[in-house]
Chain A
């Protein structure tokens, strides 16, 4: 335990712990999740993103820690010397099955990576509660105490129409798992624009602009840093949304190329997603020292000038 791990300019002490009977040494300040990833061990995550401080919202990454009465969220729990962690017990598996079933029965997870595989792995059956309730137009009007316990004839959910109020991106809150990442990216953690926040309580909780105005009447500056962190496809480039609607979105045929933004002199790293020689989406590497995955409206959406080609 006297080893030192050098990360950049800082020298951090190392910590030794045991995960699933295997001894592992990582830098102080790492989380159980990052220690597991170092070992090549997969822990399911939904609300976790590598540029945002975890909110521990989804509870799908829970693990057992010896001496702890309850399961702990691996995404935010820091490693401690001598810690004994179990990631793959009956209790952790049962917990994950429950989370995947409750979320899967109430939210459209069709574009959330790995969910189908995890459902199989943990024996989760999100459809077993019955017929889903019809989509509603009224989720944004719900006030505290508004939501009543369902009568059992259908399964409560958050299905609702897609919000399309500007040319650049859409909001499909049927897919929102309330991970808070978009709120944190828009707020103090990165963009500091505070155009969106969390409204409502309990099952009626939702992401909203102030007074639920359209984005065009909100403080939004269209940086798209919320799209970058959204893990479920609830926030999406309009170009991607339209292509998915038309059945022409072919992710397996797309290439991803890293380059640098053509606008100001900051030098933001872009990842261009290209299909059939067209840029269809722009993201930014989350581990880049300039951007940490963030861009402004020009970097995120200002690519069209190279493909307004004469027919």
Chain B
């Protein structure tokens, strides 16, 4: 969100799902959408069947790559190097959209100079992708009338995740693949309301509707509505909060619907910090590992089926969630819990329904103003922005960049100079393998939700490795091995996957109670987004004897 907001002023994907069905070129970069976003991938498949070319950029030859015209298997964390190389090739081949660059962007000269060193040879050396393949993708981008550049956590879960996003935005700007039907940037969100959390101001620097905390006029509007004084400085993001816990500057926490004890990189460290708090309150639908550490647990309701409200998806579509079942026992609606807490603190907040809360939001956030509950129901959700109750905006953002008159184009989109920055943790003789992480089709994050149903596809956690590495280490499929990073050790069965290249191993975060993958991952943080480098740790694999297995493995 930070990258898109920096360049375009709006932290949302610029295109709609349906546009990928009619585009000429689809680039799936750091995204295994076939498994992680299956219904978005159905739209991609429509595009492919309609004649679009699809390129997959991913260290793994994933289920998504299997549908690609060409797979670019880059080294983990070399995304900036690859995009800079593509950019130089587009520029040198004369395939840029010159009038768009001239009319609608800024900073091109400086950017062009910054990528000049990235010849195909130089790029190939750093990324591990053959120069000819890089050239092919560059020319495909340069020649396509419309292109969709899509990405997921393979781009953002790095210590330089924001730079990765900026480097992809640069490619769109070079070719004018933005602000037109079928041309745009599509980040696929990892969770059902990541976008909506941002929309509603659950960011340390934003008020609802992406209005800046540090903008006096915006703050005043909210202060008048709420009759309080809002701190005039940006708050902390999650990572900064953990830092503050470490330095004793943050002594209590109120955690709603998150499981940081298991979802944070370097999980043992996160748990220790949470334990050390003076006061921890957790509001959740389960007694998660985080809730087990809490002084007070408030049983909430499942927002998607036990309560009314809205969520926002990856194409900025705000949609209604509705109560279908009654939550068990003493679990309460989350809005009610907040109101009860406010009352105990001496504030009488009067809201009689989720719609009442929503209408207040509409009155404060112009981009949501046109979205009444009735319209959301009638139209199958509405994409933001929606400024009035009787109109809808185009399905893509930033058409203004193509306006005839300069004054209608708004702020020109800046190119960003981005510097290649390899993963913080280098592989070494002691830790020679690169560990990356991702999701499987039938499971989800720490397994709190997906563990509830029986899946015929589900296997216990494994360490996936290339056939070459397995042979050289004498490891057979299913053999339990020990995986060690500079931070921790887990045991798991090996699984041979010919989609992995030598030197690359893969695990999921789905089964933390059996194999806690985040004991291995590194807490290297992107200072701009606060996201940790889940995608790149250095590990070693050791053979062990059966009597030596020390972490219980599911099924054993």
Chain A residues with CB under 8 Å of B324's CB are: 255, 257, 259, 272, 274, 279
Q: Interface size bucket, B side? A: 35 or more
Q: How many residues of A contact B (CB 8 A)?
A: 56
B-chain residues with CB within 8 Å of residue A37 when the two chains form the complex: none
B39 with A279: CB separation less than 8 A: no
Is B452 a contact partner of A308 (Cβ separation < 8 A)?
A: yes
Contacts of A295 in B (CB 8 A): 39
List chain B residues, Cβ under 8 A from A298: 442, 444, 450
Q: Mark A206-247, 1 if CB is under 8 A from B, else 0.
A: 000000000110001111000000000000000000000000
Residues of chain A contacted by B303 (CB below 8 angstroms): 262
- Whether A306 touches B457, Cβ cut-off 8 Å, given contacts A223-B38, A263-B192, A264-B192, is no
Check A288–B36 contact: CB distance below 8 A: no
- Determine whether B99 belongs to the interface, using a CB cutoff of 8 Å to chain A: no
**B457 surroundings in chain A (CB, below 8 A):** 221-222, 297
A166 within 8 A of B: yes
Best-buried of A272, A285, A299 by chain B (most CB within 10 Å): A272
Tell me if B62 is interfacial: C-beta within 8 Å of chain A: no
The answer to whether B302 has its CB under 8 Å from any CB of chain A is: yes
Question: When the two chains form their complex, are residues A287 and B380 in contact, meaning their CB atoms are under 8 A apart?
Answer: yes
- Minimum CB–CB distance from A188 to chain B (whole Å) comes to 7
Q: In the complex, are the beta carbons of B449 and A305 less than 8 A apart?
A: yes
B495 contacts the other chain (Cβ, under 8 Å)?
A: no
In Å, the complex CA distance between A257 and B323 comes to 8
In the complex, which residues of chain A have a beta carbon less than 8 angstroms from the beta carbon of B441?
221, 296-297
B305 within 8 A of A: yes
Q: Is the CB of A258 within 8 A of B322?
A: yes
Contact A304–B322 (Cβ < 8 Å): no
Q: Mark A244-286, 1 if CB is under 8 A from B, else 0.
A: 0000000000010111111111111110101001110000010
Q: Does B230 contact A (CB under 8 A)?
A: no
Please provide the chain B residues from 175 to 218 with a CB less than 8 Å away from any CB of chain A in the complex: 188-195
Contact of A267 among B286, B328, B381 (CB under 8 A): B381
Given the complex of chains A and B, what is the CA–CA distance between A76 and B191 in angstroms?
A: 39
Q: Is A307 an interface residue (CB 8 A)?
A: yes
Of B193, B306, B381, B450, the residue contacting A302 (CB under 8 A) is: B450
Contact between A294 and B18, CB atoms less than 8 A apart: no
**A198 contacts the other chain (Cβ, under 8 Å)?**
no
Assess whether A306 is in contact with B314, with CB atoms less than 8 Å apart: no
A294 to nearest B CB, angstroms? 6
Q: Point out which of B306, B315, B324, B381 has the most chain A C-beta atoms below 10 A from its C-beta.
A: B324
User: Which residues of B from 338 to 388 have beta carbons under 8 Å from A?
Assistant: 380-381
Residues of B with C-beta under 8 A to A4:
none
B553 interface contact, C-beta 8 A: no
Instruction: Give the residues in chain B near A260, CB-CB below 8 Å.
Output: 192, 304, 311, 313, 319-321
Distance between Cα atoms of A307 and B324 in the complex (Å): 12
Which residues of the other chain, A, contact B37 by a CB distance below 8 angstroms? 264-266
- Whether the Cβ atoms of B195 and A259 lie closer than 8 Å is no
Known A222-B456, A308-B452: A267·B304 in contact at CB below 8 Å: no
Type the 1/0 row for B307-336, where 1 means its CB is closer than 8 Å to any CB of A.
000011111010111111110100000000
B116-142 interface code vs A (CB 8 A; 1 in, 0 out): 000000000000000000000000000
Q: How far is the CA of A66 from the CA of B122 in the complex (A)?
A: 71
CA distance A192 to B317 in the complex (A): 25
Question: Is there a chain B Cβ closer than 8 Å to A151's Cβ?
Answer: no
**A141 CB, nearest partner CB in chain B, Å:** 24
Given A260-B313, A261-B192, A272-B325, 18 additional A-B pairs, CB 8 A: A166-B456, A167-B456, A222-B457, A223-B38, A260-B321, A262-B302, A263-B450, A264-B36, A265-B191, A266-B37, A266-B38, A266-B39, A266-B188, A267-B315, A294-B42, A304-B454, A305-B448, A306-B285
Q: Top 6 nearest A-B pairs by Cβ distance?
A: A267-B313, A265-B189, A305-B452, A257-B324, A296-B38, A167-B454
In the assembled complex, 22 residue pairs joining A and B whose CB atoms fall closer than 8 Å, in A order, are: A215-B456, A222-B455, A222-B457, A223-B38, A260-B311, A260-B313, A260-B320, A264-B190, A265-B191, A265-B195, A265-B313, A266-B40, A266-B188, A267-B317, A272-B324, A274-B325, A278-B325, A279-B325, A289-B17, A301-B453, A304-B453, A309-B328
